[in-house]
Amino acid sequence: MELWQRLIRDSVHTVDQLVDKFGLDRRVAENLNEFFQVRINPYYLSLIRYPGDPIWLQCVPDEIELDDYDGEEDPLQEDAMSPVPNITHRYPDRALFLTTSQCGLYCRFCTRKRKVGDSGKISMKNLESAFQYLEKHTEIRDVILSGGDPLMLTDVMLEKILKRLRSIPHIEIIRLGTKMPCVLPQRITPKLTEMIKKYHPIYVNTHFNHPWEVTPESIQACTMLADAGVPVGNQMVLMRGVNDDPAVVRELMQKLLRMRVRPYYIYMADETKGAKHFKTTIEKGLEIMENLRGWTSGLAVPHFVIDAPGGGGKIPLLPNYVLHHDKDKIVLRNFKNGVFVYENAKPKEEGETMKDRLNKSRQSKKSNVRTRTIVITPQSQNEEPEVIEVEKQ
Ligand code: SF4
């Protein structure tokens, strides 16, 4: 048994342990365990600094989960977009391939609770129909292995899947959606990275939510992946009490970049059953993005998205940097609220050549009275700026 497998074996996972370690009432612990089972491996457990801290909130069950009556089992409608077992095909050229129901840790905010936990939730017997679907659909060029966590598979099993996918000519990219570099970095071994290298291009999407998760162990795991030529991106979920603080998020994004992990997405929390208490306001997410853009490297600024309830896919959200836009110009504010004007190009006329365009531009420069744009900065973000054209002297 490898070290990571021993750590899984030694995880907190029983009602007795919940009662003893976290002081939960036995009846509540039983109900919680039935609602969504518990797995906290000793590595992740060791990151907890005090009860209720950002690490604790992500993995220790709480009675509040049982009060969420409105949450959805499948908020992203993945099952409705599943043409064969284990495949979700939502976007035109990519597909999600669920390979296991197991994870190195069961996150209390998980969107896929219905699929995660006991091994009956995702059947490994149906992989053949999934492979056949991927083979038949030549428009799929990008396959994301997920679950559960595909790195819960043994190296041998994972290699079988990668080999079969690599035999399908139209699949260009394979992505592993795995939380292991964060929750059980011991899973990233030299044997694993040597095997992965044979099936490039392989990308990893991982899932750090808080700077305390960046440890010597997780730095080593991400470094090993990067050294094996695997681009690693991070998907953070914005959660109340965990990371709903611009300073915390900026620290995390900077730490990720230092270990060669590119911040990729920040998600608003999904409307998953039992996770309502994690939801923050959209305004908080926009404030966090305002505190990244311009204030730190562009590489540290991920896309902020809502994975639209009902299966609409990821929709980006941005703080409003456009103060005014008409056919001639756009008026923008920068990260320090300075206001700037960018002149628009004239649309191309039918049959117009580049030479015609240059001649027109020269003539208009000679004949036209040239103007200058003055922008009166608005007093608040809700007001439009006043834009005045004046003749140039
Ligand atoms: S690792 Fe991913 S799939 Fe597994 S419980 Fe956590 S969020 Fe859910």
* The pLDDT of residue 72: 80
Let me know whether 308 and 334 are in one domain.
Answer: no
Using the 3D structure, point to which of 260, 287, 316 is the last residue of a domain: 316
Let me know whether 343 and 224 are in one domain.
Answer: no
Let me know whether 311 and 379 are in one domain.
Answer: no
Q: Which domain holds residue 352?
A: 322-391
The answer to whether residue 59 is catalytic is no
Question: What is the chain's length?
Answer: 393
24 phi/psi in degrees, rounded to 5: -75, 145
Residue holding tokens 């750590």? Answer: 7
Let me know whether 299 and 363 are in one domain.
Answer: no
* Dist. CA 290–CA 297, nearest whole Å: 13
pLDDT surpasses 60 at 155: yes
* 135: in domain: yes
Query: Which residue owns the Cα nearest ligand 1 atom 6?
Result: 107
Q: Which of 314, 321, 328, 357 is catalytic?
A: 314
Let me know whether 175 and 297 are in one domain.
Answer: yes
Helix (H) / strand (E) element for 203: namely: strand 202-206
Amino acid identity, position 274: G
| Alpha helices, DSSP H, located in the chain | 3-9, 15-22, 26-35, 42-45, 54-59, 127-136, 155-166, 180-183, 190-197, 216-227, 246-258, 282-290, 354-367
Task: Determine contact, residues 207/235, Cβ cutoff 8 Å.
Answer: yes
Let me know whether 242 and 353 are in one domain.
Answer: no
Report the pLDDT averaged over residues 199-217. 98
Predicted TM-score (pTM) above 0.85: yes
Using the 3D structure, point to which of 316, 343, 378 is the last residue of a domain: 316
CATH of the domain at 265: 3.20.20.70
* Dist. CA 97–CA 53, nearest whole Å: 33
* 17: in domain: no
* 19: in domain: no
Ligand 1 neighbour 55 (Cβ under 6 A) = no
* Dist. CA 393–CA 387, nearest whole Å: 18
Lowest mean pLDDT across 202-206, 264-268, 358-362:
358-362
Q: Which residue has the higher pLDDT, 186 or 358?
A: 186
Let me know whether 227 and 356 are in one domain.
Answer: no
Ligand 1 neighbour 106 (Cβ under 6 A) = yes
307 phi/psi in degrees, rounded to 5: -80, 105
Let me know whether 181 and 282 are in one domain.
Answer: yes
How many Cα atoms sit within 13 Å of 44 on the Cβ side? 33
Let me know whether 241 and 273 are in one domain.
Answer: yes
Q: What SS3 class is residue 258? A: helix
Overall domain count for the chain: 2
Report the pLDDT averaged over residues 313-335. 94
Query: Which residue owns the Cα nearest ligand 1 atom 5?
Result: 106
The answer to whether residue 43 is catalytic is no
First to last CA, the chain: 81
Let me know whether 256 and 355 are in one domain.
Answer: no
Going by pLDDT thresholds of 50, 70 and 90, the confidence category of residue 361 is: confident
**Residue 286: other Cβ atoms inside 10 A:** 15
pLDDT surpasses 70 at 176: yes
Ligand 1 neighbour 112 (Cβ under 6 A) = yes
For residue range 38-60, what is the model confidence (pLDDT) as tens digits?
Answer: 999 999 999 999 999 999 999 99
Helix (H) / strand (E) element for 389: namely: strand 386-391
CB within 8 Å of 156: residues ≥ 6 apart = none
Task: Determine contact, residues 128/207, Cβ cutoff 8 Å.
Answer: no
The answer to whether residue 39 is catalytic is no
DSSP code per residue over 48-94: --STTSHHHHHHS--GGGGG--S-BSSTT-TGGG-SSTTEEEEETTE
DSSP code per residue over 152-172: GS-HHHHHHHHHHHHTSTT--
pLDDT surpasses 70 at 6: yes
282-290 helix and 246-258 helix, angle to the nearest 10 degrees: 50
The answer to whether residue 222 is catalytic is no
Ligand 1 neighbour 181 (Cβ under 6 A) = no
